[in-house]
Structure 1
């Protein structure tokens, strides 16, 4: 079953089960996919759908930080629930140890020696970790390994 089909089935089941969080998240994902396809006149493959879901996840994580700063517990709980739903559609996330190994290997591959090489490292790591790791965590690990 493709990711699009899974999203369609999950939308139906969330409507039947009155799971409002899942329904709203799946609806937003499907709308984003449709918008991208219409704007670019393409049919998205699995990888493109994963990119869209990863962007949605990043937006939720950024919003979560702001909600926590503002002490909005109602929005924090809602956003955390949305994050859990989004994670279900992404590939298995890499552990910090696995990610650290990838970062170390990539640093040696590109011959990076300082923070000036951050762009080269990030562009080399992105394809290896696409949809399976948070960009902020990758960035932190690169900084830690270059010091």
Structure 2
């Protein structure tokens, strides 16, 4: 289980004295625990991936803001955090793999126009969660459906 792997990595980082990595892993565990407490459930791997995906997106937004403000020191901290978090995400999909998945989802959902975008995204989300930026996926679907 992914959550167990993160906990094991936290222990290893403690033993190795890797303070920066340990801090990021603690942030990950806190986000997972927060969602578990809020929803009163035990997160499975897919839900943990969703939490990690959200964390990466937040940090990418922060990096863009820090870069535009000229705060390279803070942007570097965020980049380090993204690197640690991405280590737990599956390998990213290539453009051709993503296009093939979009095409298959359009066929599976029976979509033919823009109003069917929700159906297509519903089919795609579990397949690409944590492996592609959902904004880019949405843009591909929109382009495919002629929007």
TM-score of Structure 1 vs Structure 2, range by shorter chain: 0.7 to 0.9
Q: Which residue of structure 2 lines up, in the alignment, with residue 126 of structure 1?
A: 125
Q: Which residue of structure 1 lines up, in the alignment, with residue 89 of structure 2?
A: 90
Q: Which runs of 4+ in 1 moved over 4 A?
A: none
Q: Which residue of structure 1 lines up, in the alignment, with residue 145 of structure 2?
A: 146
CA-based RMSD of the aligned residues comes to 1.8
- Compute the TM-score of the two structures, normalised by the length of structure 1: 0.86
Closer/same/farther in 2, CA of residues 68 and 131 from structure 1, 3 Å limit: same
- Compute the TM-score of the two structures, normalised by the length of structure 2: 0.86
Q: Which residue of structure 1 lines up, in the alignment, with residue 135 of structure 2?
A: 136
Q: Which residue of structure 2 lines up, in the alignment, with residue 55 of structure 1?
A: 54
Mark the runs of 5 or more structure 1 residues left unpaired by the alignment.
Answer: none
Mark the runs of 5 or more structure 2 residues left unpaired by the alignment.
Answer: none
Distance (whole Å) between structure 1 residues aligned to residue 130 and residue 83 of structure 2: 15
- Quick check: 2:6–2:25 contact (8 Å CA) kept in 1? yes
- Quick check: 2:102–2:140 contact (8 Å CA) kept in 1? yes
Task: Tell me how far 1:138 sits from its aligned partner.
Answer: 0.3
Closer/same/farther in 2, CA of residues 49 and 118 from structure 1, 3 Å limit: same
Task: Tell me how far 1:124 sits from its aligned partner.
Answer: 1.8
Task: Tell me how far 1:30 sits from its aligned partner.
Answer: 0.7
Q: How does 1:4-43 map to 2 (within 5 A)?
A: 4-43=3-42
